[in-house]
Amino acid sequence: MDLKKGFFLKLKSSFLMFTFFFCMQSGALQAGLNLEQLKNKELIRWILQVEQLCKPDCIHICDGSDEEFKDLTAQMVKTNTLIPLNGELRPNSFLSRSCEEDVARVEDRTFICSMNQRDAGPTNNWKEPAKMRKQLLELFEGSMRGRTMYVIPFSMGPLGSSISHIGIQITDSPYVVASMRIMTRMGKEVLNVLENNSFIPCLHSVGVPLDKGMVDKPWPCNPENKYIVHFPETKEIWSFGSGYGGNALLAKKCFALRIASKMGQEEGWLAEHMLIMGIENPQGEKKYFAAAFPSACGKTNLAMLKSALPGWKITLVGDDIAWMKIKEDGRLWAINPEAGMFGVAVGTSYASNPNAMDTIKKDTIFTNVGLTKEGDVWWEGMSKDTPLNCINWLGNNSSDCLKENIAHANARFATPISGCPCVDPSFDDPRGVPISAILFGGRRSSVIPLVMQSTSWQHGVFLGTTVSSETTAAANGAVGKLRHDPFAMLPFCGYHMGDYFAHWLSFSNKTDESLLPKIFYVNWFMKDENSQFRWPGFRENGRVMKWIFERIDLKPNAIKTPIGYLPDEQGLDLTHLSICPKNLANLLSVDVMGWQDEVKELREYYKIFEDKMPQKILEELDALEERLKKN
C-alpha cells in the first residue's frame, strides 16, 4: 500500500528480505511467524512500508498460538500493563488500568475521509483525504520507535464463510494484540485462508515513541493527538493515540461497522450494530433474532438472556455486530464477525446477566474495574456491598477515596464467546443463521411503548430511522442526553446516512418481502413520575421475546394502532409477574401527544439529510402523522 495515496506499491520481494528485522533480542516473544511464511505480496509490501514509516525496534508477526498469548501477557505483567488475577478465582485472567484520558470511544476524533464530503454525510466528521493522510503520516513517522510492531492477521467471521472478510492490524500495543486474540479469529490459519486475496489494512499506534532512556508507562497513549480515521474508498483504517476499545481494536467498530457498512452498501449486504440470538420455544421450535440498540443499552444482556418463562431457551451468536446477506433461499442470513465480547462491566451481576458472569470466570481481560484484596475483580452492581480494601480503577485504595467509583462507568471485559454457557451451536457455522426478526430499541423514559411491530418492511425501516436514546458512558461526552441514533449506527455508519436508509429500503426489492425478517421496536426503559422503571426488565424481557416469536407466525395476539401492532390484552404472557395495571397500561398504549411531538422532532431531524432523505421514509412519517390525528 502506498501510504501516501492508498495504493499498493510495487517493490521487489528480494529487497524486502533484507529490510526486515524480527524480534531477536532477549525478552522478545518466541512464538510468531517469520517473513518466509507470508505468501501475500501486498501484505509484505504494506508491512515494509509501515516499518519504514513507524521505525519500530522489531516486528512480530502473530501466529495466534497459546504460547504467544502466554509470552505476551507475561511480558505485560512485567511492565505493569496487566495485573494477573488470582488464578484460583479467575484463571488465565488479567486486569488492566487505562490512562485516565483514554477510557472510551472518541467520536469527535473519528473521521470518515471519503473523497467527497457529501459521501460522509452530516453525521460523520470529515476531512479531505489528502490532508488527513499528510497529517497522519507526520504523526506515524517514527511513532513506534523503541517498541515492537505487531502484525495481527484476523478473520471477521468464521474462516471460510462466504460472509467473512480478512483484516490485518498492525499495532505497537501488546494489550491490543492480546485483546484482538479474544475478540477475533486470529493467527496463522487466517493467513492460509488469505493466500493472495485482499485484506483490510488497519494501522494503529498508541503514539508514544520510546526514545533511549525513556521509561514506558503501563498504558501509553497520546491524548492530545487522537485520530480514528477511515478511508472508505481505499478501505483503510488508521488509528493514532488511543489504546482503548473501539479506538484501538480496529476489527470492531472501525472495520466490522464503519468500513464494512460501506462494503455492504457497495456489495448488497448489511453490517449492523446488532446482537444475534437464537430463541427456542418449549416445543423445540427455534428462530434467530437480530437486535440493534445504542451502545451500553443492554445488547449483551439480551443476547444471553435467561428467560423468566419456563421452557424458553435463548442462545448467543453475537452481542454487538451482525453481518447479514440474502442467500439463495431468499432469506436474510447473519454471522457474528467477532469471536469475543467487549462488554460493559458495571451493572453486570448474577441477577442481571448470569451467563455473562459465568463466561468471565476465566480467560478474560478486564479493563478499568476494581481489584479486591483476594486478587479478584469488582465493579458497581456486581454485588450489593463494596468489598473492603478494594483498589479502584485508578489504582487507589477505596477507603482513601470514598467518593471515587470503584470501576469506571465504561469499564469492560473482553472474553471469548466460546466460553459462554449458552453459546449457540451455530456460532461458528460458516453458513450463519437465518434471521426471522429484527428488533430496534433505545433507552427512552417515555413515549416509546414496551414493544411494537411494524406493519411492513418499509414501516420497519422507518422505525429504524427513528431510534433515539439517552447517551451512556460508552463514548466520551455527556451521559443521559437524548440523541437521535438511527439504527443504533450513528457513530458507526461509514457513509451518508441518507444513502444508508435507502440501502435498507432496497432489501424489499432483493427478495420476496415475506421472506425478510419482521421488524419490531422495544423499550425496556420507560419510567414513571418518580423515575422508577415501569417494566422490570432483565429476565422478564423473555416475555416480550415470546410475543415477538409468536408474531412472526402472525399469531393474532395484537391490535393495530397508529404506531404499529401492540400486544392485545392477552398478548403478553404475564404468568407469575406482579406488575401494577397502571404501569402495564402505560407500557402498552399509544401516547398520542408524545408521538405527535416525536413526529415534529423527527421532521426537524430528517432535514439534516437534505435531498438524500428517502421519500419513502418521509411518506411513512406523513402517514404516521395522519393516523395519529384520527386517533
Q: Which residues are known to be catalytic? A: 105, 244, 253, 273, 295, 297, 320, 412
Q: Does 236 bind Mn ion (CB under 5 A)?
A: no
Which of Mn ion, ligand OXD, none does residue 105 bind (CB under 5 to 8 Å by kind)?
Answer: ligand OXD
Residues 6+ apart with CB under 8 A from 252: 183, 245, 246, 320, 321, 338, 342
Q: Residues 366, 94, 275, 241: is their CA dihedral positive or negative? A: positive
Q: CA 138 to CA 343: how far, in whole Å?
A: 34
- What does the binding site for ligand OXD look like in residue numbers (CB under 6 A)? 105, 245-246, 295, 320, 342, 474
Shortest CB 248 distance to ligand OXD, Å: 12
SS3 letters for 206-238? CCCCCCCCCCCCCCCCCHHHCEEEEECCCCEEE
> CB neighbours of 621 closer than 8 A, spacing ≥ 6?
462, 599, 602, 603, 606
Residue 226 interacting entry, from Mn ion, ligand OXD, none, C-beta within 5 to 8 Å by type: none
- Retrieve residue 505's grid coordinates: 429500503
Q: Count CB atoms within 10 A of the CB of residue 630.
A: 6
Among Mn ion, ligand OXD, none, the one that 209 touches (CB under a kind-dependent 5 to 8 A) is none
Which residue lies nearer to ligand OXD by CB, 343 or 614? 343
Assess contact for 275 and 302: CB atoms under 8 A. Answer: yes
Cell (9 digits) for 423: 453459546
Residues in the chain: 631
Nearer to ligand OXD, 112 or 390 (CB): 112
Q: Is the dihedral of CA 334, 337, 340, 343 positive or negative?
A: negative
Q: How far is the CB of 472 from ligand OXD (least distance, A)?
A: 8
Burial class (CB in 10 A: 0-12, 13-18, 19+), 310: exposed
- Report in angstroms how near the CB of residue 342 gets to ligand OXD at its nearest: 5
Nearer to ligand OXD, 102 or 320 (CB): 320
Residue 389: CB minimum distance to ligand OXD, A: 30
Shortest distance in whole angstroms from residue 512 CB to Mn ion: 31
Partner in contact with 245, chosen from ligand OXD, Mn ion, none, beta carbon below 5 to 8 Å by kind: ligand OXD
Residue number, 257 or 390, with CB nearest to Mn ion: 257
Q: Which of 63, 172, 236, 320 binds Mn ion (CB under 5 A)?
A: 320
Q: Which is nearer to ligand OXD, 295 or 367 (CB)?
A: 295
Angle between helices 41-54 and 129-140 (to 10 degrees): 60
How far apart are CB 258 and ligand OXD at their closest, in Å? Answer: 12
Q: Which residues touch 569 (CB under 8 Å, ≥6 apart)?
A: none
Residue 360 to residues 375, 412, 417, 629, Cα–Cα distance (Å): 15, 11, 10, 51
Nearer to Mn ion, 61 or 321 (CB): 321
How many CA atoms lie less than 13 Å away from 445 in the CB half-sphere? 13
* Cβ atoms of residues 412 and 342 within 8 Å: yes
- Minimum CB separation of residue 474 from Mn ion in Å reads 7
| Identity of the residue, 23 or 317, whose beta carbon is nearer to Mn ion in the bound complex | 317
Question: Which position's Cβ is nearest ligand OXD?
Answer: 295
Binding segment for Mn ion (CB under 5 A), chosen from 114-122, 287-295, 433-441, 454-462, is 287-295
The residue count for binding Mn ion (CB under 5 A) is: 2
Binding site for Mn ion (CB under 5 A): 295, 320
